[in-house]
Amino acid sequence: MKLIINKDDLLEGLQNVQKAVATKSNLAILSGILLETLSEDRVKIAATDLEIGIETIISGEVVEKGNIVLPARYLVDIVRKLDDSLIQINVDKQNNTADIHSGYFNMTIHGFSGEEFPVIPWVNEGFDCNLEQGMLKKMISQTVFATSHDESRPFLTGVLFSLQDKLRLVATDGHRLALREASFNSEVEERGVGAIIPSKAVNELIRLLDDEENKQVQVRIGENQVSFQIENVRLITRLIEGQFPSYQQVVPQGYKTRIKLNREELASALERASLIVRGESNIVKQVIQKDKLIITSNTPEIGKSSEEVACLLEGEEMQIAFNFKYFLDVLKVIESEEVTIDLTGSLSPGVIRPVGDDCYTYVIMPVRSH
Amino acid sequence: MKLIINKDDLLEGLQNVQKAVATKSNLAILSGILLETLSEDRVKIAATDLEIGIETIISGEVVEKGNIVLPARYLVDIVRKLDDSLIQINVDKQNNTADIHSGYFNMTIHGFSGEEFPVIPWVNEGFDCNLEQGMLKKMISQTVFATSHDESRPFLTGVLFSLQDKLRLVATDGHRLALREASFNSEVEERGVGAIIPSKAVNELIRLLDDEENKQVQVRIGENQVSFQIENVRLITRLIEGQFPSYQQVVPQGYKTRIKLNREELASALERASLIVRGESNIVKQVIQKDKLIITSNTPEIGKSSEEVACLLEGEEMQIAFNFKYFLDVLKVIESEEVTIDLTGSLSPGVIRPVGDDCYTYVIMPVRSH
């Protein structure tokens, strides 16, 4: 293989696929990035850890076709540090080495044959749809943080993509649940399409998606895999098997207490109360009175705090305690100026919603405060 | 004690002293910061780990005099997170607790009596001089990185401040030596004044010093301690005992090979060569020929590199190998466009100097390359 490639194009391509490189695999070749010529001016760059695969196509002058797998940890740093804009890569097929040449710099680096690189399996059949990149990015960022890290319940470690009358993204770790809905134009059979996508893949997807709303991402949901095509970058990931909890039943209907208050004021007050909180349950208590929410925390060996936040109350006064972390997580991803909190009792889940946006619902379990 | 204090003043004061707080002490009180009223509008803030002490005086409305020591890790975060600009601190002397009140926020936090806080010993007698803050800051940043981390030779873990005909700062870890000189106007007795200042204290000093050249720092070097007074902040540190190596003998006189080359080009080439270097000795080889320096690296299991950097040679051609880290360290703190490298042999120390600045000398030991 002989290539002449623009530094910025190569670096962008490498950075796009880099996160799929295996970091802890026994297969040495998976710590590498595949470079493969496709035609006289197109080069494929790919990486996979056998769960996620990312590939992209960049332009370059192909002098001689071929392929090589080069160790990601050296390749990306080397390309980043080059001063000159043109890079020449010459592969010695017999020794599986590549000469990287740029300006007065020359490096020979050991790699693997591209033929031994595992093929990222293609999603042949499945449900196809196009989504807006900016919308999907926002939907993911408002749900993925609620996934579980507990590998003993794998179906909670991913985000549910559910397509029916609406597109719904749902994530829960058993302590809180985030549900984001969006209207959806494609036709879906009545029982709908659902897939649990591993949180790692979803986080990589966020990185690849553009904020702009008018750019599209092509999604194909297959039996065991899903693919996302974002311009010239494709991400493929396995799906998580198992039955996602029926989230509709988790969202309480109605309320006894509803308060409306400023999101940033609430977040600041919770942050201050949390500063002295120690221990796993992270308890911050909330007392709701006529026109104020009183937030208190108490760690006997350190100290205690109390703060009032103005609110509008509809319904009964109430006392409840939450893990502040679960509360702060959601206040960071909501964009509205105000939020509502609906409660039905001190030991029943609360529901947080952004005011003026009925597509987002966050359910949070209270904790016993003594 | 009762205080009303401006948030920004208090935060700045706390941040100035915070780095002197003990992080691993058995004495719980040393993890705190002392607040002590001095007059009706002045409050002292102080912290010490018994090696370094930092204290500062801020203005505030003293309603009732007194003192308290509050845990640094909570106090600084709490003050930083407050929205309101005015903070009220009320101390309950009997329980050693403080109420921190601001806006609708109230926190009670446990502390210690200020009377039990160790007094930061005052440097009563010593050699006094004034230095320009910007100059001292630059002198420190060009030397402190060369100190040793080896506690078995404590006198190498600090920076030598030597005052005689000139002010000299010197640091060495046995592999390289950094020497920065500056002209100096105060009168010093003939045998001079010298002090080895721990690198931690010197690093804190950098943080407190202003870049501006026209601001002064008052220095007092005592028998066992040194103090630096920077406006209303004072840093006091113990000195390291022992005899600093006679650095004059380490700097080679004359050269067989002198090259002059662009500093940034050299640094970039060294960084690229270093990317594949593994192992403790960090060897990068340099071959000096008529008009070029050839930098090579080789790690058999990864690959090898070679790059040419243009240079002006005076004297003999030469081959030598260095630890690239020691080389890159100095190229980062030099500001000149070009540097000279003087060599007398493949196994003799090299000398790096910025072109156009004869106040800085960096000596670096070569390594055997096979």
The model's pTM: 0.91
Residues of B in contact with A71 (CB under 8 A): 302
CA distance B76 to chain A (A): 10
**A272/B107 touch (CB, cutoff 8 Å), yes or no:** yes
Say yes or no: B97 contacts chain A, CB-CB below 8 A. Answer: yes
As a whole number of angstroms, the distance between CA B223 and CA B243 comes to: 14
* Exposure on the CB side of residue B165, measured as CA atoms within 13 A: 0
- For residue B271, what is the nearest residue in chain A, using CA coordinates? A81
Token pair in block for residue B90 = 């009320």
Q: Which helix (H) or strand (E) holds A353?
A: strand A350-354
- The minimum CA-CA distance between B35 and chain A, rounded to whole Å, is 18
**Residues in B touching A289 (Cβ below 8 Å):** none
Query: CA of A360 to nearest chain B CA: how many angstroms apart?
Result: 28
For residue B110, which residues of chain A lie inside 8 Å, CB to CB? Answer: 301-303
Is B78 at the interface with chain A, CB within 8 A? yes
- CB nearest B105 (choices: A104, A105, A307): A307
Contact B123, B159 (CB under 8 A): no
Q: Which two tokens stand for residue B80?
A: 């930083």
Specify the pLDDT at position B370. 63
CB distance A268 to A241 below 8 Å: no
| Residue B323 backbone phi and psi in degrees, to 5 | -75, 115
pLDDT of residue B279: 78
Task: Tell me if A199 sits within 8 A of A178, measured CB to CB.
Answer: no
- Position A171 scores a pLDDT of 98
Query: A84 — contact with chain B (CB < 8 Å)?
Result: no
Yes or no, beta carbons of B106 and A306 under 8 Å apart: yes
B304 chain-A contacts, CB cut-off 8 A: 107-108
Q: What is the mean pLDDT of chain A?
A: 95
Indicate the residue of B81, B268, B272 with minimum beta-carbon distance to A78: B272
Sorted by sequence, the CB contacts under 8 Å of residue A39 that are 6+ apart come out as A62
Question: Which residue of A82, A276, A307 is in closest CB contact with B106?
Answer: A307
What are the angstrom distances between the C-alpha of A210 and each of A136, A205, B227? 9, 10, 54
What are the backbone dihedrals phi and psi of residue A134, each rounded to the nearest 5 degrees, phi first?
Answer: -60, -40
Residues of A in contact with B275 (CB under 8 A): 74, 77-78, 81
A335 touches chain B (CB under 8 A): no
Confidence band of A192 (pLDDT split at 50, 70, 90): confident
Q: Report residue B271: phi and psi, to 5°.
A: -60, -45
Residue with tokens 């070097």: B221
Q: Are A138 and A209 in contact (CB under 8 A)?
A: no
User: Which letter, b or e, does each residue of A248-282 get, where b requires 16 or more Cβ atoms within 10 Å of its Cβ?
Assistant: eebeeeebebbbebbbebbbbbbebbbbbbeeeeb
- Separation of alpha carbons B171 and B194, rounded Å: 13
pLDDT category at A370 given cuts 50, 70, 90 is low
DSSP string, A4-63: EEEHHHHHHHHHHHHTTS-SS-S-GGGGEEEEEEEETTEEEEEEE-SSEEEEEEEE-EEE
Tell me which chain B residue has its CA closest to the CA of residue A102: B307
| CB proximity A296 to B under 8 Å | no
Reduced to 3 states (helix: H, G, I; strand: E, B; else coil), residue B266 is: helix
Of B104, B304, B307, nearest to A105 by CB-CB distance is B307
Contact B107 A81 (CB under 8 A): no
Block means of pLDDT (10 residues each) for chain B, length 370 residues? 97 97 92 97 97 97 97 96 94 97 96 94 89 96 97 95 94 97 83 93 96 90 95 96 92 95 97 90 89 95 96 96 96 97 96 96 90
Q: Answer yes or no: are the C-beta atoms of B1 and B37 closer than 8 Å.
A: yes
Among residues A247, A223, A227, A246, the alpha carbon closest in space to that of A235 is found at A227
Integer distance in angstroms from the first to the last C-alpha of chain A? Answer: 68
Yes or no: say if A260 and A338 are a contact pair by the CB < 8 Å rule.
yes
Q: Which residue has the higher pLDDT, B300 or A280?
A: B300
Amino acid at A8: D
Report, as an integer, the average pLDDT of A55-62.
97
Interface check for A77 against chain B (CB to CB < 8 A): the answer is yes
Q: A104 contacts in B (CB within 8 Å)? A: 269, 307-309
CA distance B123 to A134: 62
- Residue B11 φ/ψ, nearest 5 degrees: -65, -45
**Is A81 in contact with B268 (Cβ distance < 8 A)?**
yes
Q: How many CB pairs under 8 A join A and B?
A: 85
Which residues in chain B are closer than 8 Å to A81, comparing Cβ atoms?
268, 271-272, 275
| Residue of A274, A322, A323 lying closest to A299 (CA atoms) | A274
- Alpha-carbon distance of B144 to A309, in angstroms, equals 49
Q: Are B103 and B85 in contact (CB under 8 A)?
A: no
Q: Give the residue from A31, A112, A275, A297 with the most B CB atoms within 10 Å of its CB, the best one to mutate.
A: A275
Which of A79, A100, A101, A107 to probe the B interface (max B CBs under 10 A)? A107
ipTM associated with this complex: 0.89
Domains of chain A: 2-116 (3.10.150.10), 127-247 (3.10.150.10), 257-364 (3.10.150.10)
A75-131 pLDDT, tens digit each = 999 999 998 889 999 999 999 999 999 999 999 999 999 999 998 888 889 999 999
Give the whole-angstrom CA distance, residue A89 versus residue A109.
11
* DSSP state for residue B240 in the 8-state scheme: B
CB-CB neighbors (< 8 A) of A308 in chain B: 104
Q: How many CA atoms lie within 13 A of A196 on its CB side?
A: 17
To the nearest whole angstrom, how far is the Cα of B317 from the nearest Cα of chain A? 20
For B274, the closest chain A residue by CA position comes to: A78
Q: Who among B83, B275, B301 is closest to A78 (CB)?
A: B275
Residue A75 Cα, gap to closest chain B Cα (Å): 9
* Cα angle value A122/A128/A133 (rounded, 5°): 95
Length of chain A: 370
Q: Tell me how far apart the alpha carbons of residues B186 and B203 are, in angstroms, rounded to a whole number.
A: 25
CA of A223 to nearest chain B CA: how many angstroms apart? 40
